[in-house]
Chain A
Amino acid sequence: MAKQCCESKNHEEPTVDYARVTELVNNMLKPPGAGWYALFFTCVVAVIWGGSCFAKQIMEGLHVAGINHPIGWGVYITNFVFWVGIAHSGTLISAVLFLFRAKFRMPIYRLAEAMTVFAVLTAGLFPLIHVGRPWFAYWLLPYPNERALWPNFRSPLLWDVFAVSTYLTVSTTFFIVGLIPDIASVRDKAKSSFRKMLYTVTSLGWTGSNSQWKHYMSAYLFFAGLATPLVVSVHSVVSWDFAVGLVPGWHATIFPPYFVAGAIFSGVGMVLTLIIPLRKVFHLEEIITPFHFEGMVKLILLTSGIVSYAYATEFYVAWFSNNLFERFQFWFRPFGDFKLAFWGMFTCNCIIPLTLWFKKLRSNIAYLFIVSIFINIGMWLERFNIIFTSLAREFIPAAWGGYNFSWVEVGITVGAFGWFGMYMCLFIKFFPAVSITEIKELLPPPVRKKLPVGH
């Protein structure tokens, strides 16, 4: 019945049939084993640790974090940009590649879309965590009030508020709508009464009728079209947090495309980090094949190239500008006190992905996993480089300073990963993490009788 797909390059569809697909996906939704519980428990503990660090910060003030003067933004904003960046890749894979009809996205995009939603939820924590008075954070929202006070629409931080909240709402809606037929499919097979109720509610009464399918397809297309520009716009807006400032090292027009490419780069890395173990644990090798990984690798190479080009542009423009401050900043990055971070970033983002040009390496799924971890580290370091080093060496040498790495920040960072992981674990166990609908679209539909050849 189910045959392992061959190594042929032209092979586009998995050689499984409808039943097998349903079976595999439902396997994922079986009551969880010890491994899942262990992972979930770890995530929850991380969240609790992070939460208690945040509580300490609220009680005592921001001195428990590492930020100081002049480095006013540190680990928290790095995390914010990191998580927002990761989110973009999910939308790229599920929406943009949908519009391009790229077949290699099929089994992956659902998980990527989930990653987007949870990553935005994680990123949304950080503006609250990093401000001095989080209990007043709602002042960034434009609500009518007696004092006729509006927020400052010229501020990139406010653009962030709009961009990220738009992104959250659109991605979530896209996600929820896209899930409907799959949840309905799972609903029909559900055994426990809790699951039955959960799926009944979330499938919104899907029956699979023709008109529903028609509406679903056009809705999906519509949302994909709506989400696509967000991939470019949201991270451009986030990049303007930096580019609009006059800090040397921040004030560069290349930031929007640089950040967007970087976001996709880091997101693809995170997708691989999630998909490869998932595939192993749930035996999805028939559905997620080397062909799909090939597509991901191509994305990695493309975005890594753009990011490397952006680094080169930054350095070149700093030199060409003859501006004393810019030149110093870009000397400081590779040769100054934080040079370890710079060279780490350079190695992880520019050098290591180059190894994927070798077929032997890129076909090795375990190696891909390692590379994806390095990509994530490298992209975190990139934001560190942009934020910390630029602030550490600004215009006035007397004000130059360093950073005080603190356990509270580590706790909150780990807590954020735990928060993300927690949602991911729950999602994988309760909802179909692989899109049944779209995979089945590629498969020949089951027929009752197989006509013999020649009849």
Chain B
Amino acid sequence: MEVKNESNTVETKEEGNTGVSRRSFLKILGQTSAVVGAAGCGKSSAQKILPYVKAQDDQIKGVSVWYNTTCTECDAGCGIQVRTREGRAVKIDGNHDNPINRGGVCAIGHSALQNMYDPDRVRQPVVSKPGKVGEFQPVAWAEGIQKLVTRLKPKSGKVAYLGNSKSGAMASLISDFCSGLRIEKFKYNSVSTSAESKACELVYGVKGIPTYDLEKADVILNFGADYLETWVSPCELARGWADSRRKEHPARVIHVEPRLSLTGASADSWLMANPGTEVQLALALLKLLIERGKGSGVSVEVVAKIQNLTKDLTLDKVAAETGIAKDKILLAADSLYNAKASAVLAGGASATTATPLPLLVAANLLNIILGNVGTTINLASTKRESDGDLDDVKKLITMMKKGQIETLIVDGSNPVFNLPPSFEFEYGIKKVQMLVSLSSQIDETTHYAHLILPTNTGLESWGDVEPTTGVYGLIQPVMKPVFDTKSYGDLLIEIARAAGSQGVARAQTDFLGFLKERWQGIHVNSGSTKNFQDFWLESVEAGGYFANRSAAQQLDAERVTVRVQDAAFSMKFVNAKFGDDKSSAEDNLYLLPYPSVRSFDGRSANRPWLNEIPDPMSQISWDSWVEIHPDTAKKHGIVKDDLVTIRNHWGEINVGVVLTPYIHPNVVACPVGFGHTTYGRFAQGNGGNVMHLLSPTTTTGVGSVALFSTKVRIRRGRGTVELANMQGSDSQMDRELARVSYVGGAAAVSDHAHAEDHGHNNHHEPKQMYVQREHPVYKWGMAVDLAACTGCSACVVACYSENNIPTVGRKVVSQGREMSWLRIERYYDTKNHENGAEELHVSFLPMMCQQCGNAPCEPVCPTYATYHSEEGLNVMVYNRCVGTRYCSNNCSYKVRRFNWIEVNFPEPMNWQLNPDVTPRSVGVMEKCTFCIQRIVEAKDNAKDLGRLVEDGEIKPACVQSCPTQALTFGNLKDPKSKVSMLSHDPRAYKVLDHHLNTQPAVSYLEDIKYREV
């Protein structure tokens, strides 16, 4: 770069040795600066920010737009609010107005974003490469649709459609579609509540799953139903359960199952039953209760039939068969007898045996004997069953194997993965001439497709659901489709039109029109006085139309009369059988596959959040495992870190092992949904698919997959596998981090009371050495109610989603370098009572930055990258952090996370990142901030309105998401705020504060547990 300045040269020459004159000095200074400044504007360093040429009407840049819609991850139909920024969906919150979830969002619900932004999704229509399976090349939409349409012409051979049962408008459209084009429709649902529904029909006379108003119960007896995890409607039932525990007199929960599930972990009394024998316990309870006089509201004939059924039962026999002690059975009977309202549920591990109906019927009989129908059992609002009957699928398989199916359209279900291979679906599908998949994920079934016409995910679609009678949820797209995919409904209409079926969708041109037409009917039935357009817009804005579930509904519920069918008593009430004719004598263990909060049935496997956030019970991430009792493991010489081979006639899998004493010694349990062979980079290679071991047995009287009916043998596999286990120690080591207060008799007594020298949780503030900080306006604090926390980890996923927390993968997790700001610690503690009995208590402790008033991390940072704010927060300044990690060492709660690696979010997962939260670079420390971005946003809004922030206005992501509302956030300076009142609750305490005087801003409320004795 040259500065031409003749005048300067002349002047310098003139002055010679006397130096530069003042004038020329200033000239040089000015010109050099200008040139340097100009040089700085080189093309390499300039970055452009372009505003919209035409501003959009509904968007202000920097301001979020929220859309209410309904989650489509499972059939529960929870209402969600999706936050979008500049047209991109970034966060899923819950919709408070939806009566199903009332604002809660489960872990899988949050991960719907990662489904939409899945980098492995099919981005445009593709056809399989000629002669190759599983390899695809792009094709245009018109061409792709045409390929299918030619197969739909009358002479083109048999066409079949396989899909799961949808509700609402979509179900109707699919029916029309299939009947209009003479396509034979086959239904397949990977999750089944058919058994439960059939049992309801048999005992109550009502088909479907009743609504359980658990909050009204004083006693809940549960045979295996994992309602806090995946059963029926987990957000709804978890909320009901939590409300029942928060009452003045908390509900007592008794849980019976062969393996400790997440739901069982929250029970007061966990009874380990011999597999398949729970029905005996149910019958024994029926007998005991009728003997003591219950059953007054039931007809004499029914009571007589029950007595006949149970006449040969003795307590000793039942105790011996089930393996449950007599006193426990009597205690259960006592509790049920004395309860004003109780609820008996059955499902999950206990009701997926080969003969689930006897137990389910017995449980329902218990409900009617106890008079629960009309209080806790609401038969006026029922849920549609998730029809797991496999008759359709078996017929389809037979036809496919015979080569009778020329074209098969699959909607996105994945029977090749979900259905046990012993049903030979994969064998059959290979014979289909043209397999068309409408999925946008290349799962195991779509892998065989010849043509993939990808459709929008739930967040990009219109639709509706009716999860419970009277609740109509609406699904609306929250953003334009990320990829070149089409709406499912629109696609069907387009195909039908092109194939000549004009009658489909009743002459509507697109699915939205069809949907609106259907809603005319709902509008009429609602009795609303508004016109349809207003009604429709209001419903879309609200996320649906939720008929008022109030006293009117209650009256309806009480008015339903129960009609017990004769067929309820015509089955054999014997223990469930295990094994099949192909089982060998060596197959001596019962295999229990169970869906988990993370994996469900495997549909959410390619989502890094759900893989990385550990399973709350086993604390394992990125892998599957088999749970084995230590005695059983010892017999086979299996120790920790071993690879275990599980096999039987039908198949074999190799997985890592988790040793747990909380499983029946003859049972081995594997989570469902792992072991994908395709589906994406995050899903592949994670563990084994337990379905490979299942026989083609279907449940008697129902026809669904008999999940818990197989026998297997295990042996030590070749090699070891280090499962990425997040948890350092399973025991609290008597450190009283997660405390419990025992309810025995009348009053709650804190177990902690006699351990310390003060008689109650110390609410006295100890004398402080230094002058304490002043908090002029706000002092943010949180309260965590351990009695309501189920350990489901929804809050953890919410935090990952809101705060751009990277997932690091299996290897880095096993090195101890996971990035979660909030973790759920799971502790097993056994208490030994004076009478020799051992009582298990499982605690879940959500641990996040405690924002300590006397923070140990603050004084030790050499660069002042962390300090205390005026509002009580421990603030982290990423830009100032040099990365010495002293703060993490000194943090007694170990909540600080260091960025060990450079993270990348593969496109388009980076679209999900929250623009209000800085992504952190490598070498920098990060931690929970109480969602300071939400605090700032709320303060800004309040300032615009000229007031202070009100209680409940700010909800950090975890607080917002919790399905049981276990977390509360607010201003501790306001004595009337919910968090202030909770922090002064007799159950409130602070973790480690007593030892360390860290003055955390987070108060924990002790868990509540009924003493057994």
Which A residues form the contact surface with B (CB < 8 A)?
A: 60-63, 67-73, 127, 130-133, 136-137, 139-140, 149-152, 154-158, 161, 241, 244-247, 323-325, 328, 391, 394-402, 404
Contact = CB atoms under 8 A, between A and B. Distances in A.
B856 A246 contact: yes
Contacts of B729: 397-398, 400
A140 B888 CA distance: 18
Contact of B889 (A60, A63, A133, A391): A391
Given A155-B860, A161-B862, A397-B731, A133 B816 contact: no
Given A72-B885, A131-B883, A396-B847, A149 B732 contact: no
A61 B892 contact: no
A397 B884 contact: no
5 contacts: A132-B898, A132-B923, A150-B864, A156-B860, A395-B894
Contact of B816 (A155, A246, A397, A404): A404
Given A398-B728, A399-B894, A73 B889 contact: yes
B166 to A, nearest CB: 42
A391 B730 CA distance: 18
Contacts of A68: 815-817, 900
Q: Ordered nearest first, which 8 A-B pairs have the shortest CB separation?
A: A132-B883, A400-B728, A132-B923, A399-B894, A397-B729, A398-B825, A68-B816, A72-B885
A396 B900 contact: no
A156 B890 CA distance: 12
Nearest to B819: A69
Given A63-B817, A132-B923, A399-B728, 13 more contacts: A61-B901, A61-B923, A69-B818, A69-B888, A133-B881, A244-B860, A245-B860, A245-B889, A323-B995, A396-B892, A396-B992, A398-B727, A398-B729
A137 B882 contact: yes
Interface string B505-518: 00000000000000
Contact of A394 (B726, B823, B892, B902): B892
Contacts of B992: 395-396
B882 A136 contact: yes
Interface in B846-870: 847, 856, 859-864
Given A69-B898, A133-B882, A397 B862 contact: no
B818 to A, nearest CB: 8
B731 A61 contact: no
Q: Tell which of A132, A391, A400 has the most Cβ of chain B within 10 Å.
A: A132
Interface string B677-718: 000000000000000000000000000000000000000000
Contact of A139 (B727, B735, B882, B889): B882
Contacts of A133: 881-883, 921, 923-924
A157 B860 contact: yes
Contacts of B727: 398
Nearest to B812: A63
B922 interface: yes
B899 A61 contact: yes
A318 B961 CA distance: 43
B601 to A, nearest CB: 29
Contact of A246 (B883, B890, B924): B890
Given A63-B901, A149-B864, A161-B862, A404 B815 contact: yes
A394 B864 CA distance: 24
Contact of B884 (A60, A69, A157, A244): A157
B815 A62 contact: no
Contacts of A244: 859-860
A244 B888 CA distance: 14
A133 B864 CA distance: 15
A157 B812 CA distance: 28
Interface in B927-951: none
A245 B901 contact: no
B827 A395 contact: no
A154 B857 CA distance: 11
A401 B816 contact: yes
Contacts of A158: 862
Contacts of B737: 396-397
B886 interface: yes
A72 B737 CA distance: 23
Contacts of A132: 881-885, 898-899, 922-925
Contacts of A401: 728, 816
Contacts of B955: none
A247 B892 CA distance: 7
A151 B889 contact: no
B996 interface: yes
Nearest to B921: A133
Contacts of B300: none
Interface of B: 726-735, 737, 812, 815-818, 823, 825-827, 845, 847, 856, 859-864, 880-886, 888-890, 892-894, 897-902, 921-925, 992, 995-996
A152 B881 CA distance: 12
Main secondary structure of the interface of A (DSSP, over half): loop
Nearest to A399: B894
A160 to B, nearest CB: 8
Contacts of A60: 901-902
Contacts of A71: 816
Nearest to A241: B886
A133 B995 CA distance: 34
Contacts of B856: 245-246
A397 B733 contact: yes
Nearest to A67: B885
A401 B727 CA distance: 8
A130 B884 contact: yes
Contacts of A398: 726-729, 823, 825-827, 845, 847
Contacts of B812: 63
Contacts of B897: 69
A338 B815 CA distance: 17
A386 to B, nearest CB: 12
Contacts of B882: 131-133, 136-137, 139-140
A73 B885 contact: yes
B737 to A, nearest CB: 7
Given A398-B847, A400-B729, A155 B817 contact: no
Given A132-B923, A152-B863, A395 B900 contact: no
Nearest to A139: B863
Nearest to B998: A246
Contacts of B888: 69-70, 72
A444 B88 CA distance: 91
Contacts of B922: 61-62, 132
A155 B886 contact: yes
A132 B897 CA distance: 12
Nearest to A154: B859
Nearest to A156: B860
A174 B815 CA distance: 46
B816 A396 contact: no
Contact of B890 (A127, A151, A245, A404): A245
A433 to B, nearest CB: 36
A227 B826 CA distance: 53
Contacts of B996: 246, 395
A210 B502 CA distance: 118
A204 B727 CA distance: 63
A71 B902 CA distance: 20
A366 to B, nearest CB: 42
A155 B890 contact: no
Nearest to A70: B894
Given A133-B881, A395-B892, A157 B886 contact: yes
A397 B923 contact: no
Contacts of B893: 395-396, 399
Given A60-B901, A61-B901, A155-B859, A69 B817 contact: yes
A397 B728 CA distance: 6
A63 B815 contact: yes
B83 to A, nearest CB: 30
Nearest to A392: B728
B924 A69 contact: no
A397 B859 CA distance: 24
Given A132-B883, A133-B882, A62 B898 contact: yes
